[in-house]
Amino acid sequence: MKNQINRLKMKNNLIAIFGIILLLISCTTKNENSNEQALKIIEKSEADKLAIDSQKTLDIANAFMGAMGKGDMETMKNLMHEDMVWQNAGDRSLPWIGPWNGKKAILEEFLPVFGKNFVTKKWEPTDAFASGNTAAYFGQMVGLLSKSNQETREFTYALRVKVEDNKIILWNWFEDSYEVSKAFHNK
């Protein structure tokens, strides 16, 4: 009888130990699933933040372009960072080739020189996208060069825009500067 009681106690102890082990395994599995779910939530919120930031960058760049197209200097000024850089690469004999550093230099030097020498006849963005604080635009354009009264052939442009503190910090043009230079120099 004593052996049967000992076996019964041992059996109950084993059942209790087995139950504890199952409980621990269950908690660990739930914990791993919870950790995986938490990571997915974090990844999703980071992706959501990137999407929101990217859209905000496009909105700011589009607002700046819209203001430029309308000649709305007040909106342009409000969207420009004090340390903005306007970069146009190309033929250094063209008076607007940059970089132009700072909002003041862009407003007081670059824009008047550019406006006096180049009239945009066609500006057609075909693609635009953003990632975080950087936007990119691609399209076709045609310009009229005032000095020579020559119009460029249609050419491709690319534009890189960076936004900082909800203001344009970089406006970086990539265009067919050879085509623009030919028209400027009447060649």
Q: What is the pTM of this model?
A: 0.74
Overall number of domains in the chain: 1
In a domain, 58, yes or no: yes
Domain residue limits at 144: 50-184
CATH of the domain at 81: 3.10.450.50
Rounded to a whole number of angstroms, the distance between the first and last alpha carbons of the chain is: 116
Whether the per-residue pLDDT at 113 is higher than 90: the answer is: yes
Chain centre to alpha carbon of residue 163: 8
Write the pLDDT tens digit of every residue in 151-168: 999 999 999 999 999 999
In whole angstroms, give the CA distance from residue 79 to residue 57: 11
Query: Is 2 inside a domain boundary?
Result: no
Residues with Cβ within 8 Å of 88's Cβ and at least 6 positions away in sequence, in order, are: 96, 97, 98, 99, 100, 173, 175, 177
Q: Is residue 144 part of a domain?
A: yes
Q: How far is CA 28 from CA 32, 34, 38, 68, 170, in A?
A: 6, 10, 15, 59, 50
Inside any domain, residue 37: no
Residue 61 is assigned to a structural domain of this protein: yes
How many CB atoms neighbour CB 172 within 10 A? Answer: 18
38 assigned to some structural domain:
no
- β-partners of residue 170 are 85, 162
- Segment 69-74 mean pLDDT: 92
Q: Which of the pair, 91 or 132, is modelled with greater confidence?
A: 132
Calculate what percentage of the chain has a pLDDT beyond 90.
58
